[in-house]
A and B are shown apart, each in its own frame.
Chain A
Amino acid sequence: MNAPLLESAPVFLDAAPAEEVLIRARADVAGDGSFGERWVVVDRTDVRVFDGGAHGAVQRVPIADLVGCRSEACVGGGAMVLERAGEAPIRIRYSQSEAAKFSEVVRGIEQLREGKAFHINGHVQRNRCSTCRRLLPEKDDICPACIHKAATLARLAVRLWPYRLRTVAVAVASLFVTAAALAPPLVTAMIVDGASLRAVLATAVAFLAVTPSGQPDRTHAHEELAQKLANGDYSRRGADGCLGCHDEEEPFPTLKLFATVHGHPAIAGSPFAVDAATPPGGLQCESCHGPAGEHDRRMLPDGARREPMLNFGQRGNATPALQNALCLACHETYERAHWLGSAHEEAELACADCHRLHANTDPVRVPDMQGQVCGACHGSVLADALKRSSHPLRQGQLVCRDCHDPHGGVGEALARHDGVNEACLSCHAEKRGPFLWEHPPAAEDCLTCHVPHGSNQPALLTRRAPQLCQECHSSAGHRSLAQMADQLPPGAASEFLLANACLNCHSEVHGSNHPSAAWLRR
């Protein structure tokens, strides 16, 4: 409503200016910043600022001399700034309660300065409570001090009566949650003050259950991601929405995916397959990273949290089980039939811990590099390959996958084959037999005498002959004799110690097919 903004003014301001007064407004902050009084009187030609009552200073600024008039925010209020050419600006400060009024004052002065029609809202007064005279909140004009609480509660109770049981349950649950949040200090005190061991065990486990660890709680992101998958709110533009931000300039480049089968449009079932008849194939980035939801839908201010997308690996924001379930949605084939319950699955290994998809090559699938990937966790096996006798793991002639199935082998230690012996015999078939004269421990288990990765003894043995053989063979005669160091050159040269020791004669130690090889000598 266009009207002059004229507040009731003290008498001294009525020293009538020649022009019609258009604005007469009171600021409740004095010139020195304390609460006080300053008046701003504006007519068509001048702006006058009255400081400190009838005998206070008066500053008169012709509107024609003003360069600009603006308001600026201050703590707890604001200031109207009159800018003059070649002179310091005049600041008229006010509290927050006057902010609406002075925004109109600034608008009016600017209109006069620019020669525009004067058009402001002259009625910006805030209401006050009729009971206690407090300024009322602008949004609802309800005085918080004088509100009738009992009446409010009664109205609330009436509305909640149909849901009274649920209301009570929520209230009780809230109490429990509050108690659980308050419990850690109490539990900590119990532990610190030296409670009994049983109590320490009990409370320590409970402590783990409820104490915030300070880490980003992956559980919450996991819940959110799982819910996103269930909602199925896929993006409108697919990969075009993702690649607009996630390009090769990112710390984690993405485009190398398109050099692999995962990024090929003609491979049925691939994420970028043209035909999306077999989801999650064909859903592009969202095949693996889940529905975009609100992730790409709007620009966010700096620092604001964007709705998460599922990312992979031990640093991923979803549990390994969820990550792996997404991979297995397409790759649950024969080769991964025994994944669930396998050692790697039990250790909560994610597929992405070993595999790299956004790369030209997946290192774990390259023979020369597979050992390094496995060795990241199984470092001692890589060290075994440096020992005196070892399988050719270092050179990539033999890879971990030749004996083990990391996706779940049916044998011990993720062996690919039906038993350890079958794994060994796949390369050492000459020892398969059956033989006329068998060596039972060799037929039972190669690991009775050998270690599979590397040994400081020859031929990957746990211990060398004759000591290894004498752990089982103790017949009277040379088998039961103690082998001493003085039987070595230059003192003596025992055939039981030197060269191949027992195998100088008993050479067919894995079994023999000779009619006379009852002692494995033929």
Chain B
Amino acid sequence: MKTTRCPLGNWCVAALLFAVAESGVAASGEPFTADYTKARTDRWRCRLCPFDDAFRREGSVAAGVLAVAEAEPRFGRDNGLDRDGNHADVAVNVRYSGEDGRMATVEGTDLGLDARQLRVLFAHPSAGTTTLQWRETPRNVAVDGRTPYVRADGGGSLSLPADWTKAYDTAAMADLNSARSFRFATHRRRVGAAWRFEPSPGWRLHTDYLRETKRGTEETGADFLYQAAILPKPVDYRTEAFGVRASFRARPWLLAVEAREARFANTTPALAWESAYPGPVPMGRKSLAPSNALRTLSWTARSTLGRTSIHSRLSWSRGHQDEAFVSGAAGDALAGFPPPAPSLEGHIHGFAGSVRAVSRVTGRLRLDVSHRRLQRNNRTPLRTWTPVLGDLVAMPARTNRAHGFDRHRSELRLRYRLPRGVRLAAGASKAALGRQVSSGSRPEVVRNEEAGFWLEAAARWRSLGATLKASRGERRAVAFEARGTNNPLTRRFHQAEREQRGWKARLHGDVGASGLSLGLYADRRRNGYPDSALGRLHDEDRGWGVDFSYAFGMKATLSGFYDGQRAAFSSAGSAAFGVADWWSTSRDAVAAHGVTLESSLLANDRLHLSFAYVRSSGEGVYRTTRSLAETPAAASIFPALVSEQSSLDITVRYRYSDRVTLALRHYGERYRSADWAFDGVAMDTIRNVLTTGRAMPRYSNRVVGLLVEARW
């Protein structure tokens, strides 16, 4: 067919067809209008409704034994299976539903392990809903770390054995062989209660209380000028949070007021330790996390006016911290420079506000305008301090650093829905971050301004959907002023000028009627720092993946996934305090894949098999070069950071009867890791740092479990 080139004509055709399409399609996405007046529910008997089945007690209890082959902290990092031997495992799931609307549920998992969770819910139509929860979370890191220190004075003081031989070099510390192992692990226990009640239609009251304790031991560094030690830090935290909220809803309004208070207490606010090195300072003292509190008052409102819906949330907070300062003991250098106040009297006035208007301009076009503000107004008093470095050397006086900021972000979004499931969207944003300036400190960049825009296209065809998004942003640093002792060519990356580009793509859906569900995704984000001669020069993230699920009729399902990620950073430094004379790059590559097969066998699906294999491998490479012209082979390349984990989980469930099910599970996990910061680093490897000598985990472990589940 012969055609003529007529761009104007094409635009006319396009405009005409747009007009036809726009006029021809009903406005979708509008809130629906419903007419309930014609419903004659007095005639509805619901004879076929199985209410008798609903008003009942039902539940299940599963109990059994889990046998762990070897003790390995990382294997049981969060699940409580860090110790070898037999562990009881209990799970409950009980429900009660009464004819009068009373309901109760009890759900518990891993009740025999340190990772137990229990949730209880009571609901009554006239008494509201009460929820109780108990959650324990272990965090096991290592058990092979060793330390010569012993705790004294309730854990706030670490001392060395009486016969400890001090030496300037860790290699000369002969008593390291008698160092004891300690457990680098913490355990959280969270207990909470919540109550929700609707006193009258539209009103809802909610109150909740949460108390969490975290106990255990972590690592912390401690130094005396050029000599340091990794200490076992006692952790004994208590966090409490309490909140109450009242909300009211009457179309088109929704209003809510909420008050919350969070308190953190540390029973060990300071840690003293005996120096393992000879020197004028026998004991050091450092502060640990200070107790603090935060009160928040929030207001939430939403209203729909015609085709526009307006949301807002405003929160005002007051945080304070007034822990008593660590003071010097008689005779130490710190005592000569007492703090100007006994405690910080720290106050933070915070504000978080969000306002958004969403308007359905036409049946296809939607406009979204939002503004957010986050403010941290640090009103901590500024005072002059004389820091004593290493508990030995008094440094020039300086004013404490109280940091605050005021962050604004405005965004405009447009979304246009074309027929046939196609959607176009575009957005632009403008943000500004202003940093608090005080006599004590002035940041190098007082203000950052950022602008960006993005475009997105999405389409649906049958059961397949696709989305593509591209974004671009630029951040400006307003009036950089070199401060402090940094090289003036350095730009701190979180406040430096930045150019950001990125895109995301996703394809997902069902492939016809084949039973196959497929998902594909990919994304990339790149940041460049054009004004940074030193510091971070650029960073980049890339990711891609695929996941699928295929159902073989009603009896079996095969699913799998693959995920790949790359992260790269590059930075420059100057050892000569001039222009860049060294460059550092790091690249992380992580790939994870897995496949799961589930199948029901035998008549009435009595036997259920589950097979899951997952593997994740990560490699990180650091590289330093002293010249841009340096060949890769000449670069200083660190040994790869490696973490490889593969697991095989096989579960067989046999339904012995309608009330009894037997489950047999075998879970095996293999983990390999390498980290140049820890591999081959014994307690005395670093001349002037007494480490714990813990090694990177490497294990093959398994757990076999036999459970019996009874149902009623």
Bound: A518/B390 CA distance, A: 11
Chain A residues numbered 362-376 whose CB sits less than 8 Å from any CB in chain B: 366-368, 376
Query: Can you list, as one digit per residue, whether each of A243-276 has a CB less than 8 Å from chain B (1) or not (0)?
Result: 1100000000001001101011111100010001
B313 and A264 form a contact (CB under 8 A): no
Task: Name the A residues within 8 Å of B269 (CB-CB).
Answer: 513
A258 and B51 form a contact (CB under 8 A): yes
A284 and B46 form a contact (CB under 8 A): yes
Does any Cβ of A come within 8 Å of B39's Cβ? Answer: yes
A482 and B358 form a contact (CB under 8 A): no
Does any Cβ of B come within 8 Å of A125's Cβ? Answer: no
Among B37, B206, B294, B374, the most chain A Cβ lie within 10 Å of the Cβ of: B374
Nearest CB in chain A: distance from B499 CB, A: 17
Does any Cβ of B come within 8 Å of A512's Cβ? Answer: yes
B135 and A397 form a contact (CB under 8 A): yes
**Residue total for A at the interface (Cβ-Cβ under 8 A):** 170
B368 and A341 form a contact (CB under 8 A): yes
Bound: A228/B21 CA distance, A: 24
Stretch of B159-167, B599-607, B633-641, B657-665 with 4 or more beta carbons under 8 angstroms from chain A: B633-641
Task: Name the A residues within 8 Å of B7 (CB-CB).
Answer: 195-196, 198-199, 202
Does any Cβ of A come within 8 Å of B48's Cβ? Answer: yes
Task: Name the B residues within 8 Å of A438 (CB-CB).
Answer: 378, 401-403
A475 and B487 form a contact (CB under 8 A): yes
Nearest CB in chain A: distance from B199 CB, A: 12
B686 and A334 form a contact (CB under 8 A): no
B418 and A507 form a contact (CB under 8 A): no
A513 and B638 form a contact (CB under 8 A): no
Bound: A418/B258 CA distance, A: 13
A434 and B43 form a contact (CB under 8 A): no
B290 and A513 form a contact (CB under 8 A): yes
Chain A residues numbered 310-324 whose CB sits less than 8 Å from any CB in chain B: 314-315, 319, 321-322
A264 and B103 form a contact (CB under 8 A): yes
Task: Name the B residues within 8 Å of A233 (CB-CB).
Answer: 38
B286 and A488 form a contact (CB under 8 A): no
Query: Can you list, as one digit per residue, whether each of B268-305 has a CB less than 8 Å from chain A (1) or not (0)?
Result: 01000000000000001111111010101010101000
Does any Cβ of B come within 8 Å of A355's Cβ? Answer: no
Bound: A279/B98 CA distance, A: 23
A333 and B204 form a contact (CB under 8 A): yes
Chain A residues numbered 387-435 whose CB sits less than 8 Å from any CB in chain B: 387-388, 392, 394-398, 410, 418-419, 422, 426-427, 429-435
A386 and B641 form a contact (CB under 8 A): no
Bound: A282/B385 CA distance, A: 69
Query: Can you list, as one digit per residue, whether each of A317-340 has a CB less than 8 Å from chain B (1) or not (0)?
Result: 001011001100100111001101
A209 and B78 form a contact (CB under 8 A): no
**Residue total for B at the interface (Cβ-Cβ under 8 A):** 226
B419 and A379 form a contact (CB under 8 A): no
Bound: A322/B29 CA distance, A: 6
A448 and B494 form a contact (CB under 8 A): yes
A499 and B691 form a contact (CB under 8 A): yes
Bound: A422/B463 CA distance, A: 39
Does any Cβ of A come within 8 Å of B155's Cβ? Answer: no
Nearest CB in chain A: distance from B13 CB, A: 6
Stretch of A46-54, A65-73, A151-159, A457-465 with 4 or more beta carbons under 8 angstroms from chain B: A457-465
Nearest CB in chain A: distance from B705 CB, A: 15
Chain B residues numbered 331-346 whose CB sits less than 8 Å from any CB in chain A: 334, 337, 339, 344, 346
Chain B residues numbered 185-234 whose CB sits less than 8 Å from any CB in chain A: 201, 204, 206, 212, 219-223, 228, 230
Chain B residues numbered 503-524 whose CB sits less than 8 Å from any CB in chain A: 508-510, 519, 521
Residue from the list B123, B398, B535 in contact with A474, Cβ < 8 A: B535
B319 and A230 form a contact (CB under 8 A): no
Does any Cβ of A come within 8 Å of B326's Cβ? Answer: yes
A456 and B643 form a contact (CB under 8 A): yes
Bound: A426/B243 CA distance, A: 13
Task: Name the B residues within 8 Å of A237 (CB-CB).
Answer: 43-45
Query: Can you list, as one digit per residue, whether each of A477-489 has a CB less than 8 Å from chain B (1) or not (0)?
Result: 0001111111011
Does any Cβ of B come within 8 Å of A117's Cβ? Answer: no
Task: Name the A residues within 8 Å of B631 (CB-CB).
Answer: none
Q: A195-B10, A441-B494 are known contacts. Are A279 and B39 too (CB-CB below 8 A)?
A: yes
Q: A383-B561, A429-B264 are known contacts. Are A232 and B323 too (CB-CB below 8 A)?
A: no
Task: Name the B residues within 8 Å of A183 (CB-CB).
Answer: 13, 17
Among A258, A377, A505, the most chain B Cβ lie within 10 Å of the Cβ of: A505
Q: A209-B419, A240-B45, A493-B685 are known contacts. Are A410 and B376 too (CB-CB below 8 A)?
A: no
Does any Cβ of B come within 8 Å of A286's Cβ? Answer: yes
A507 and B222 form a contact (CB under 8 A): yes
Does any Cβ of B come within 8 Å of A81's Cβ? Answer: no
B676 and A497 form a contact (CB under 8 A): yes
Residue from the list B32, B294, B467, B688 in contact with A432, Cβ < 8 A: B294
A334 and B256 form a contact (CB under 8 A): yes
Nearest CB in chain A: distance from B565 CB, A: 7
Does any Cβ of A come within 8 Å of B573's Cβ? Answer: yes
B420 and A471 form a contact (CB under 8 A): no
B287 and A512 form a contact (CB under 8 A): yes
Nearest CB in chain A: distance from B222 CB, A: 7
Bound: A265/B125 CA distance, A: 11
Task: Name the A residues within 8 Å of B484 (CB-CB).
Answer: 475
Q: Which residue of B lies closest to A518 (CB)?
A: B387
Task: Name the A residues within 8 Å of B402 (CB-CB).
Answer: 434, 438
Stretch of A85-93, A96-104, A142-150, A185-193 with 4 or more beta carbons under 8 angstroms from chain B: A185-193
Query: Can you list, as one digit per residue, whether each of A281-321 has a CB less than 8 Å from chain B (1) or not (0)?
Result: 01110100001000000000000000000000011000101
Task: Name the A residues within 8 Å of B703 (CB-CB).
Answer: none
Does any Cβ of A come within 8 Å of B471's Cβ? Answer: no
A266 and B99 form a contact (CB under 8 A): yes
Task: Name the B residues within 8 Å of A519 (CB-CB).
Answer: 387, 389
Residue from the list B212, B494, B508 in contact with A445, Cβ < 8 A: B494
Stretch of B65-73, B176-184, B473-481, B613-621 with 4 or more beta carbons under 8 angstroms from chain A: B613-621
Stretch of B82-90, B146-154, B348-356 with 4 or more beta carbons under 8 angstroms from chain A: B348-356
Query: Can you list, as one digit per residue, whether each of B636-652 has a CB less than 8 Å from chain A (1) or not (0)?
Result: 11110101010000000
Residue from the list A193, A216, A229, A395 in contact with B34, Cβ < 8 A: A229
Does any Cβ of A come within 8 Å of B656's Cβ? Answer: no
Stretch of A8-16, A33-41, A162-170, A217-225 with 4 or more beta carbons under 8 angstroms from chain B: A217-225
B230 and A499 form a contact (CB under 8 A): yes
Task: Name the B residues within 8 Å of A223 (CB-CB).
Answer: 26, 28
Task: Name the A residues within 8 Å of B352 (CB-CB).
Answer: 410, 418-419, 422
Q: Which residue of B lies closest to A278 (CB)?
A: B201
Among B256, B403, B443, B586, the most chain A Cβ lie within 10 Å of the Cβ of: B403
Nearest CB in chain A: distance from B664 CB, A: 19
B400 and A267 form a contact (CB under 8 A): no
Bound: A427/B3 CA distance, A: 67
A499 and B103 form a contact (CB under 8 A): no
Does any Cβ of B come within 8 Å of A128's Cβ? Answer: no
Query: Can you list, as one digit per residue, whether each of B548-578 has a CB less than 8 Å from chain A (1) or not (0)?
Result: 0000000000000101010101010111010
Does any Cβ of B come within 8 Å of A141's Cβ? Answer: no
A334 and B245 form a contact (CB under 8 A): yes
B398 and A518 form a contact (CB under 8 A): yes
B311 and A498 form a contact (CB under 8 A): no
Task: Name the A residues within 8 Å of B131 (CB-CB).
Answer: none
A395 and B20 form a contact (CB under 8 A): no
B490 and A213 form a contact (CB under 8 A): no
Q: A436-B346, A472-B493, A515-B325 known; 6 other A-B pairs, CB under 8 Å? A: A183-B13, A196-B10, A229-B32, A470-B584, A475-B484, A493-B687
A-B contact pairs, 27 of them (CB 8 A): A176-B20, A186-B13, A198-B11, A199-B10, A202-B11, A211-B420, A218-B421, A268-B101, A314-B465, A332-B254, A379-B519, A379-B547, A383-B592, A387-B590, A429-B292, A430-B266, A432-B264, A474-B489, A475-B486, A495-B687, A498-B685, A504-B221, A505-B223, A513-B287, A515-B339, A518-B395, A522-B285
User: Which 9 interchain pairs have the tightest Cβ spacing?
Assistant: A232-B35, A238-B44, A266-B101, A418-B352, A430-B289, A199-B10, A383-B563, A482-B582, A392-B78
